[in-house]
Amino acid sequence: MNASQVPESVRYCIIGAGIHGLSTAWHLARELKARGSGDGSDILVVEKSHAGSGPSGIACGVVRNNYFQPAMRELMAHSVQVWESDPEAFEYHPVGYLQISYDEMRADVAMIAEQQAAIGYESVFVEGEQETFNYMKGIFDDWRCTGVTSVLHEKKGGYAHNMATVNGLLAKAQAEGVNVVTDTLVTELAINGGAVSHVVTNRGLIQVDHVVAAAGPWVPKLWEMLDLPETTKIVLEGEIFEFPTWEFWALQEGTLDVDPGYLMNNEGNMPPVVHVDADVPLYDEDNNLLVDGKWGVYYKPDFNFGGVQGGYMPYPVKRPWRDVAIDPYGPASPDFVVGTDFRQVWAAALSHCQERFEGKASLMSHAPSGGIGAFTPDNFPVFDTFRENVYVVADSNHGFKMIGVGALVAKELVGETQALLEPFRYSRYAEGRLHPVSNSPYPWS
């Protein structure tokens, strides 16, 4: 079968060849085989463009555990095991991760460190302005960041090369016999007797037993095809609030065009990913005030395309989701690529943190970068079944690092409910079982 042919029927139809669709396909094929109840030939992945054409193919690729929400941390710890299962195939660099924070976040991060210890996730927590400075100097001798009073050093995690990971998952799924058809757009989900009976594509109709909707930022479109609610009621401290079910945020990432070796640590080795949330004013090289409040950046070497790569805080796209142009996606979007503001602030933040970046703002890459993500009402994932046989994987843009979610979803598809996924059911909104909210400047920490 070539990329333009679709079968007339299949047991499992997975929509989307991003990190979640491919990880689910690979793991589901193995689950079916292990149970003697099928194999990869029971699975079809339908992709409207090509594997990795959504955010999975452009993500900075940072893998961290640092989340204020215990359920997120447990999920990330599980995913790190999947990253570690084949670092070569995923081009995963387990260099660790540094969360360097301002004082208002200190108690939150201290609690994260305690709970990481409780789940056996190795990390070091350092408190105090001078102590933080000394610890960071031990890693980078040009460290000079002010406005921070703690550092959490996760010894696991790090980053992976986005397209290598996607291609690694694709190869693993195909090796299990999964059929991946590209250039095939799902246009409708036909519901009969409460469940989806057919997936309608621009290349034909497919009769299905189960559907997995793993469509990344396009998930609101599948949600609409399933005729699910446009707004969601949330119970908060006994009161009911109604929010749009989907909202888009723009993720701002870019690259400083220096040699990636520019960011080595004092020993000349690859350093951990650096994430800094500071609360001092940020100035550019000409002493112009850029940010008068909290700001947050992250950065790491980019050994694939060269340079130092990272991002700044996202901003909400203040429009109803239907008015947002999702296509063309990512760097091809005329609306959602980063601009001068991002370049100025990010370069200034790097220089605020490390002397080696002083005077380097002019080296910011002008190649288009950035993309949008579909966020849920509380900015945390929804992993749940709707219309009896449709499993929705909506990661609320947390998800490149969540390579293991597909393994858990695969188990749920064969009937084994997963405790790690329970906190992410849609019913949590109506039941008021929300995740705790942190003091981070990011909507997702």
Nearest by Cα to 104 from 370, 347, 293, 238: 293
Number of chain residues interacting with ligand FAD (CB under 6 A):
38
Interacting stretch for ligand FAD, rule CB under 6 A, among 12-20, 142-150, 284-292, 352-360? Answer: 12-20
Q: Which amino acid is at 395?
A: D
Contact 201, 184 (CB under 8 A): yes
Longest distance between any two alpha carbons in the chain, whole Å: 67
Q: CB 253 → ligand FAD: shortest distance, Å?
A: 5
Q: CB 107 → ligand FAD: shortest distance, Å?
A: 25
Name 312's bridge partners.
252, 297
CB nearer ligand FAD, residue 47 or residue 127? 47
Radius of gyration of the chain (CA): 22
Residue 251 tokens read as 């993720």
CB nearer ligand FAD, residue 15 or residue 105? 15
Q: Which of 47, 176, 279, 378: binder of ligand FAD (CB under 6 A)?
A: 47
Torsion of CA 63, 67, 70, 74, to 10 degrees: 0
CB nearer ligand FAD, residue 55 or residue 404? 55
Q: CB 220 → ligand FAD: shortest distance, Å?
A: 10
Contact 123, 152 (CB under 8 A): yes
Scanning residues 360 to 399, which ones bind ligand FAD (CB under 6 A)? 370-371, 373, 395, 397-399
Scanning residues 149 to 178, which ones bind ligand FAD (CB under 6 A)? none
Q: How far is CA 141 from CA 135, 151, 264, in A?
A: 10, 16, 11
Q: CB 25 → ligand FAD: shortest distance, Å?
A: 11
Interacting stretch for ligand FAD, rule CB under 6 A, among 58-66, 116-124, 144-152, 415-423? Answer: 58-66
Taking CB under 6 A as the rule, does residue 272 contact ligand FAD?
no
Q: CB 371 → ligand FAD: shortest distance, Å?
A: 3
- DSSP H or E stretch at residue 110: helix 106-118
- Residue indicated by tokens 């302005």: 129
CB nearer ligand FAD, residue 371 or residue 423? 371
Q: CB 318 → ligand FAD: shortest distance, Å?
A: 18
Taking CB under 6 A as the rule, does residue 317 contact ligand FAD?
no
- DSSP H or E stretch at residue 343: helix 340-353
Q: Which of 6, 10, 14, 21: binder of ligand FAD (CB under 6 A)?
A: 21
Scanning residues 61 to 100, which ones bind ligand FAD (CB under 6 A)? 61-62
Whole-angstrom distance, CA of residue 296 vs CA of residue 14? 36
Q: How far is CA 312 from CA 108, 259, 285, 399, in A?
A: 21, 21, 18, 17
CB nearer ligand FAD, residue 21 or residue 307? 21
Interacting stretch for ligand FAD, rule CB under 6 A, among 13-21, 32-40, 139-147, 422-430? Answer: 13-21
Q: How far is CA 100 from CA 41, 154, 380, 440, in A?
A: 47, 11, 22, 11
Which x/- pattern, by CB under 6 A, does the window 322-361 give for ligand FAD? ----------------------------------------
Interacting stretch for ligand FAD, rule CB under 6 A, among 216-224, 258-266, 340-348, 351-359? Answer: 216-224
Q: Which amino acid is at 143?
A: W
Q: Which of 6, 71, 80, 186: binder of ligand FAD (CB under 6 A)?
A: 186
Task: Report DSSP state, residue 220.
Answer: H
Q: Which of 32, 60, 278, 348: binder of ligand FAD (CB under 6 A)?
A: 60
Q: 205 by DSSP, 3-state: which?
A: strand
Contact 314, 341 (CB under 8 A): no
CB nearer ligand FAD, residue 105 or residue 409? 409
* β-strand pairing of 43-46 with 9-15: parallel
- State the sign of the Cα–Cα–Cα–Cα dihedral 62, 21, 334, 247: negative
Cis peptide before 328 (omega within 30 of 0): yes
Q: CB 385 → ligand FAD: shortest distance, Å?
A: 17
- Residue indicated by tokens 């961290």: 64
Site residues, ligand FAD (CB under 6 A): 15-21, 46-49, 53-56, 58-62, 185-186, 214-218, 251, 253, 370-371, 373, 395, 397-401
